[in-house]
């Protein structure tokens, strides 16, 4: 769509620049990349959850047709390939650093979860590699496995470094003061629940294709990644010991991430290392079955949560004890999810003055667990909003009224769990949601459902999110081992068109459109004159990538900072061309003007002068018009919203249908409402998936029993309704766009809203997630034992 | 190795492949038409959907030999020769029916077959038609809207 060159670009519902290639099959995902001299890798994976590797026989595989090489952990160790690093150091309540066991890219001596990489077979064709992988014979001695996080601490050790399988015990808040408040409370609500383990399931499976050039001693890795620079940094500095300048990482079109493509995975390391050994391009693409056992999983918390209230329903204190399952190894950001991104969110939208949270993180013989859409914040919201709704029911206070009695109303607000909310207006989103959901007529709808033999329930969730984790120095003091800024570059071409380079990465979020809107608006250029480039370390100066709904708030701000420099330099050039004082030059929608006169130069004329500097202040100013900026935010942003879910439960089958879902979010300023709505839809579907259909299960021996789309049910079109959504706008106070972020909200708020609705329909205190038909039916039968 | 010939997007093609070669592998690796995607190994996700003799099929579920002599259309063959989007593609664009774009080719191909017999479908009919196609980005909301709009624009004709 051609947009006018004016400020109306910002906030406009423009269709996306990236759509054409995806709609015509001309996108380029990693597996679509075919390199010259291509070979194919297949990984041999552990069939056992916990076993000693007694021997690996590779002879038959090595002599099989088409096979180029077979490598094992021993080969990597001999080549001094390091282990996969963890990006966040958590310090425990005992003052000691967390236990960081080695995480070799290919197993060494022992396997610790089903699906762990044991060997790699590389052949001329994929079929040959598959055939040969079957010929690798591994002799295992099985060891007892533990998958249940409640049994982890007493199970046999998975890693020598952690004899009690505990990575850390960590706490936040004032325990003594919290306990004292509970002792004086008029009412205490207590819940114990499992925040179910989820498998991210981006529809594009992970893929990596590496090539090596002897001419330049250079590597290029195409990889389905959310953050190519972070991938390169971790791989070169910690694993392969290579200069970053010799490694180019390209994350081309990436088919969804949801967190699962943030991390440095062993497969990426192995194909990159092997590309040099073989002097060939080496490609690996996961089967979905491999994705289930090798993509980092999400959630998996067992929590006991308590809320202390006075007689009027005012929250006095919250006490939370969580055991978090980290899986068999520490994935890249695993350690900060159940701590820094979880406990700090437990104030929610409320003035609860005292909060104490203790987290025990354990290793089990399961796939590593890391950030999945929301990452800690859905778990926190589930704790807060299930407690609040349950407390209201127990105290016979309207669940909306109890929220209103406790809303934070004055900003900035310092919570007792470290965060300081800059702004918000929680009542506004709640009021809007109640109206949009037509809550006042819920009773009529409930009666109508009852006539059809259905149980109708309504549930609410008022969530808070923290996006754009920052600032770097504070995060560093809390254990972060990476910076949390973003970089952007604006390259103005001689004809006045613009290429924007961003360190953020788009894998569905539509940055090529949204970021272009920001630039087109600021510079007053037509949309078609602005191109956005991302995902290639050889083009973009640096970047931390996309996670935690940070792209517009952090990446967008870096772009704005670079734009400010472009305009500042443009004014100097224009002042020269117009023979005016620089201080008299103004920039307005594509034109540099001398204030109070009709003398002006267009953006294109100034750009041309910068590159053809014949009439140019060469003594004072460099030619060219290209600027970059790094932006490190001063605080998180704090999106918030109110969700209303209505369900109908079939009494005979336990089948639960979401009949209505309303979401009103406050994302601050919105650049493209169409794209933002799409983000909310997708988040809601994933949140509804967690509540109703998705539950990752291991049997006690450590076999994953939900290892395909047939056993692990991501929502299908019939599982979700058309959503009713709207927004309210309280601009962020500390970034120039006033933006907050919207990518994870739906997944954060939806589970609690759905489960509050189901427990309302059933009249029971709690139902575990996922509330499958079988689970709900069982609770209907047991209702007499669990009535509120 | 077996020679397998068929018509793809109006052009005759052939390639020598192993008997076990899946149709989707033939399309992606032999013909290098990489718009058709593979998202699973259990015939659940529908990212590999193509039209075979006018009907939507999952190209991961048959071997290439089974398509001998068939008339195939992949996502690359949907837009007009001059690049103009087909009304169903246009509807996906206008309704923001795609995000990461990975499931999109399968969604569009399945929708083309569905819309031939449903020129004015209800939301319910569209949702039922999508039972074999998974999307993780959109929550289906805008895909449903896209297909309803695209089907109306097509008026029952491909």
| Full 3-state SS string of A625-691 | CEEEEEECCCCCECCEEEEEEEEEEECCCCCEEEEEEEEEEECECCCCHHHHHHHHHHHHHHHHHHH
Domain match, A545 and A598 both: yes
- Mean local confidence (pLDDT), A256-268: 98
Cα gap A785→A139, rounded to integer Å:
50
Q: Give per-residue pLDDT as tens, A343-399.
A: 999 999 999 999 999 999 999 999 999 999 999 999 999 999 999 999 999 999 999
Q: What is the pLDDT of residue A4?
A: 42
Residue A162 included in any domain: no
Q: Please judge whether A686 and B136 are an interchain contact, meaning their C-beta atoms are less than 8 angstroms apart.
A: yes
- The nearest CA of chain A is from the CA of B53 a distance in Å of 20
Distance CA A307, CA A309 (A): 7
Where does the pLDDT of residue A8 fall: very low under 50, low under 70, confident under 90, or very high at 90 and above?
confident
Inform me whether the pLDDT recorded for A779 exceeds 80: yes
Chain B 69-98, residues with CB within 8 Å of chain A CB atoms = 74-76, 78-79, 83, 85, 89, 92-94, 96, 98
CATH of the domain at A438: 3.30.365.10
Average pLDDT, chain A: 96
Under the banding of pLDDT at 50, 70 and 90, the label for residue A7 is low
In a domain, A123, yes or no: yes
pLDDT digits (tens, 9 = 90+) for B106-151: 999 999 999 999 999 999 999 999 999 999 999 999 999 999 999 9
Contact A508, B99 (CB under 8 A): yes
Whether A368 and A416 map to the same domain: the answer is yes
Contacts of A254 in chain B (CB under 8 A): 100
Q: Cβ of B35 under 8 Å from any chain A Cβ? A: yes
Asked whether the CA dihedral A175, A181, A182, A187 is positive or negative, the reply is negative
Task: Name the 3-class secondary structure at A142.
Answer: strand
Tell me, yes or no, whether A366 and A289 share the same domain.
no
In a shared domain, residues A267 and A306: no
- Judged against a pLDDT cut of 80, whether residue A575 lies above it is answered with yes
Distance from CA of B52 to the nearest CA of A (A): 17
Distance from CA of B100 to the nearest CA of A (A): 3
Distance CA A186, CA A391 (A): 12
Confidence of residue A784 (pLDDT cuts 50, 70, 90): low
pLDDT at site A783: 74
Residue of A442, A262, A419, A240 whose CA lies nearest to A334: A262
pLDDT at A342 over 70: yes
* Token pair in block for residue A610: 């910068």
Q: How far is CA A195 from CA A514, A647, A733, B137, in A?
A: 34, 20, 33, 22
CA dihedral B84, B88, B93, B99 (to 10 degrees): -120
Indicate which of A200, A717, A749 best probes the interface with B, i.e. most B CBs within 10 Å of its own CB: A717
Asked if the Cβ–Cβ distance from B76 to A25 is below 8 Å, we say yes
Q: Quick one: which of A217, A272, A262 has its CA closest to A105?
A: A272
pLDDT tens figures, A472-512: 988 998 999 999 999 999 999 999 999 999 999 999 999 99
| Range A64-93 average pLDDT | 98
Q: At what angle do helices B87-94 and B104-117 cross, to 10 degrees?
A: 120
Residues forming a β-bridge with A168: A361
Distance of alpha carbon A149 from alpha carbon A323, whole angstroms: 7
Task: Kindly state the percentage of chain A with pLDDT values over 90.
Answer: 97
Q: Does B104 touch chain A (CB under 8 A)?
A: yes
Looking at the structure, tell me whether residues A374 and A515 fall in a common domain. Answer: no
Note whether A81 and A222 are same-domain residues. yes
Distance from CA of B102 to the nearest CA of A (A): 5
CA distance A148 to A698: 9
Q: Is the pLDDT of residue A251 over 50?
A: yes
Phi (first) and psi of residue A568, to 5 degrees: -60, -45
- Asked if residue A176 belongs to a domain, the reply is no
Closest CA to A386 of A752, A663, A645: A752
How would residue A146 be classed by pLDDT, with cut points 50, 70 and 90?
Answer: very high
Residue A508 structure tokens: 């569905």
From chain B, the residues in CB contact with A746 under 8 A are 139
Considering CB atoms only, which of B32, B98, B139 is closest to A720?
A: B139
Has residue A314 been placed in a domain?
yes
Domain assignment of residue A282, yes or no: yes
| Beta-bridge partners for A251 | none
* Mean pLDDT to the nearest integer, A68-94: 97
Question: For residue A758, what are the CA distances in angstroms to A98, A745, B48?
Answer: 39, 21, 36
Rounded Cα–Cα distance for residues A513 and A498 (Å): 14
Q: Mutate which of A1, A199, A203, A686 to disrupt the B interface (most B C-beta within 10 Å)?
A: A203
**B2 contact A CB<8A:** no
Which two three-digit tokens encode residue A493?
A: 């071409």
Domain boundary among the residues A581, A615, A631 is at A631
| Pair (A592, A464) in one structural domain | no
Q: Judge whether A108 and A138 are in contact, CB under 8 Å.
A: no
N-term to C-term CA, chain B: 35
A500 lies in the same domain as A387: no
| Residue A452, in any domain of the structure | yes
Single pTM value for the model: 0.97
Cβ atoms of B51 and B94 closer than 8 Å? no
Contact criterion met (CB < 8 Å) for B100 and A204: yes
pLDDT at A788 over 50: no
Note whether A685 contacts B140, CB cutoff 8 Å.
yes
Name the nearest CA neighbour of A692 among A708, A709, A710, A716: A716
Q: Which is nearest to B99 in space by CA: B34, B53, B146, B43? A: B146
**Domains in chain A: how many in total?**
3
Distance from CA of residue A539 to its chain's centroid? Answer: 24
User: Which residue carries 């000693």 as its tokens?
Assistant: A52
Burial of A2 (0-12, 13-18, 19+ CB in 10 A): exposed
Check whether residue A220 and residue A307 sit in a common domain: no
**Residues A634-675: tens digit of each pLDDT:** 999 999 999 999 999 999 999 999 999 999 999 999 999 999
CA distance B39 to chain A (A): 5
In tens, the pLDDT along A176-206 reads 999 999 999 999 999 999 999 999 999 999 9
User: Where is the domain boundary, A631, A662, A677?
Assistant: A631
Q: Domain with A97 in it: what CATH number? A: 3.90.1170.50
Q: What is the mean pLDDT of the segment spanning A521-549?
A: 96
Dist CA B60 CA B136 (whole Å)? 20
Q: What is the pLDDT of residue A785?
A: 54
Domains of chain B with bracketed CATH: 2-76 (3.10.20.30), 87-154 (1.10.150.120)
Structural contact between residues A547 and A296, judged by C-beta atoms closer than 8 angstroms: no
Statement to judge: residues A723 and A591 lie in one domain: no
Q: What is the pLDDT of residues A11-26, one digit of tens each?
A: 999 999 999 999 999 9
Stretch A670-685: mean pLDDT, rounded? 98
Q: Do A23 and B126 touch (CB under 8 A)?
A: no
- Tell me how far apart the alpha carbons of residues A169 and A159 are, in angstroms, rounded to a whole number: 17
Which class for A357: exposed (0-12), middle (13-18), buried (19 or more C-beta within 10 A)?
buried
Give me the DSSP letters along A152-172. GGGSPPSBTTBTTSEEEEEEE
Q: Cβ–Cβ contacts within 10 Å for residue A20, how many?
A: 16
A397 with A436, same domain: the answer is yes
Q: Which domain holds residue A211?
A: 33-143+204-255+261-294
- Asked if A461 and A537 sit in the same domain, the reply is no
Instruction: Identify whether A505 is part of a domain.
Output: yes
Residue A184 lies in a domain: no
């Amino acid at each position: 769509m051609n947009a006018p060159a004016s400020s109306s670009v910002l906030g406009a519902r423009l269709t996306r620049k990236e759509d054409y290639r995806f709609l015509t099959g001309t996108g380029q995902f990693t597996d679509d990349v075919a390199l010259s001299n291509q070979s194919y890798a297949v990984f041999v994976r552990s069939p056992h959850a916990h076993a000693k590797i007694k021997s690996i026989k590779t002879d038959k595989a090595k002599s099989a047709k088409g096979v180029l090489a077979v490598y094992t952990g021993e080969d990597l160790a001999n080549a001094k390939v390091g282990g996969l690093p963890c990006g966040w150091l958590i310090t425990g309540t005992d003052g000691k650093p967390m236990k960081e066991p080695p995480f070799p890219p290919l197993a060494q001596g022992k396997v610790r979860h089903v699906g762990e990489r044991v060997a790699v077979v590389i052949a001329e064709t994929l079929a040959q590699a598959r055939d040969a992988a079957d010929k690798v014979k591994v002799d295992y001695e099985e060891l007892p496995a533990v998958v249940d996080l409640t049994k982890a601490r007493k199970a046999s050790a998975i890693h020598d470094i952690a004899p009690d399988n505990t990575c850390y015990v960590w706490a936040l808040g004032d325990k003594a003061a919290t306990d004292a408040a509970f002792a004086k409370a008029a009412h205490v609500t207590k819940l114990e629940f499992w925040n179910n383990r989820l498998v991210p399931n981006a529809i594009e499976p992970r893929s990596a294709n590496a090539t090596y050039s002897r001419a330049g001693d250079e590597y290029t890795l195409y990889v389905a990644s959310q953050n190519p620079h972070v991938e390169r940094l971790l791989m070169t500095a910690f694993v392969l010991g290579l200069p970053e300048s010799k490694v180019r990482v390209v994350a081309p079109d990436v088919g969804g991430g949801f967190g699962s493509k943030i991390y440095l995975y062993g497969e990426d390391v192995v194909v990159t290392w092997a590309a040099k050994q073989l002097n060939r391009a080496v490609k690996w693409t996961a089967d979905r079955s491999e994705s289930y056992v090798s993509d980092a999983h999400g959630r998996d918390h067992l929590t006991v949560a308590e809320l202390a209230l006075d007689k009027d329903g005012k929250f006095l204190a919250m006490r939370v004890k969580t055991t978090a399952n980290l899986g068999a190894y520490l994935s890249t950001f695993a350690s900060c999810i159940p701590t820094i991104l979880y406990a700090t969110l437990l104030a929610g939208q409320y003035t609860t003055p005292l909060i104490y949270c203790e987290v025990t993180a354990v290793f089990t013989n399961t796939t590593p667990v890391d950030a999945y859409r929301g990452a800690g914040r859905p778990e926190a919201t589930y704790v807060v909003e299930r407690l609040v709704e349950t407390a209201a029911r127990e105290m016979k206070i309207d669940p909306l009224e109890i929220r209103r009695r406790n809303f934070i109303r004055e900003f900035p607000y310092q919570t007792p769990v470290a965060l300081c909310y800059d702004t918000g207006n929680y009542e506004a989103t709640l009021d809007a949601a109640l109206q949009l959901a037509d809550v006042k007529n819920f009773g009529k709808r409930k009666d109508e459902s009852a006539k059809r033999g259905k149980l109708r329930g309504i549930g609410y969730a008022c969530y808070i999110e923290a996006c754009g984790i920052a600032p770097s120095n504070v995060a560093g003091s809390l254990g972060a081992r990476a910076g949390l800024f973003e970089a952007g570059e604006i390259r103005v071409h001689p004809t006045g068109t613009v290429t924007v380079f961003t360190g953020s990465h788009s894998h569905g979020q539509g940055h090529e459109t949204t970021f272009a809107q920001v630039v087109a608006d600021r510079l007053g250029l037509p949309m078609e004159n602005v191109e956005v480039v991302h995902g290639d370390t050889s083009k973009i100066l640096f970047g931390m990538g996309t996670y935690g709904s940070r792209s517009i708030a952090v990446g967008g701000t870096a772009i704005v900072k670079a734009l400010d420099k472009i305009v500042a330099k443009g004014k100097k050039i224009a002042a020269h061309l117009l023979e005016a004082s620089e201080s008299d030059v103004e920039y307005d929608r594509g034109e540099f003007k001398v204030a109070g006169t009709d003398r002006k130069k267009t953006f294109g004329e100034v750009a041309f002068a910068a590159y053809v500097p014949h009439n140019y202040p060469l003594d004072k100013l460099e030619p060219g018009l290209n600027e970059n900026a790094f932006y490190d935010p001063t605080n998180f942003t704090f999106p918030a919203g109110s969700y209303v879910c209505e369900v109908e439960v079939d009494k005979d089958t336990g089948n639960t249908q979401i009949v209505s879902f309303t979401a009103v979010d406050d994302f601050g300023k919105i650049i493209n409402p169409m794209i933002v709505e799409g983000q909310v839809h997708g988040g809601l579907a994933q949140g509804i998936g967690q509540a109703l259909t998705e539950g990752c299960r291991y049997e006690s021996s450590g076999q994953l029993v939900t290892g395909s789309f047939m056993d692990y049910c991501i929502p299908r079109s019939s599982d979700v309704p058309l959503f009713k959504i709207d927004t309210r706008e309280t601009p962020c106070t500390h970034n120039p766009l006033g933006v907050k972020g919207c990518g994870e909200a739906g997944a954060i708020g939806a589970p609690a809203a759905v489960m509050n609705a189901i427990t309302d329909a059933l009249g029971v205190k709690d139902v575990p997630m996922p509330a499958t038909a079988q689970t709900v039916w069982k609770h209907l039968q047991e209702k007499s034992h669990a009535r509120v | 190795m077996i020679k397998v010939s068929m018509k793809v997007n109006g052009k005759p093609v052939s390639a020598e492949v192993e008997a076990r070669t899946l149709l989707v592998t033939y399309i992606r690796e032999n013909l290098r038409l990489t718009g058709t995607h593979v998202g699973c190994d259990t015939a659940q996700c529908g990212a590999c959907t193509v039209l075979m003799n006018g009907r939507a099929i999952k190209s991961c579920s048959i071997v290439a030999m089974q398509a001998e002599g068939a008339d195939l259309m992949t996502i690359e063959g949907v837009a007009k020769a001059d690049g103009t989007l087909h009304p169903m593609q246009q509807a996906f664009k206008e309704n923001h029916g795609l995000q990461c774009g990975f499931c999109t080719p399968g969604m569009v191909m399945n929708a083309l077959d569905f819309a031939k017999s449903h020129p004015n479908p209800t939301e319910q009919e569209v949702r039922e038609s999508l039972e074999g196609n998974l999307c993780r980005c959109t929550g289906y909301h805008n895909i449903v809207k896209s297909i309803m709009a695209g089907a109306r624009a097509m008026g029952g004709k491909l």
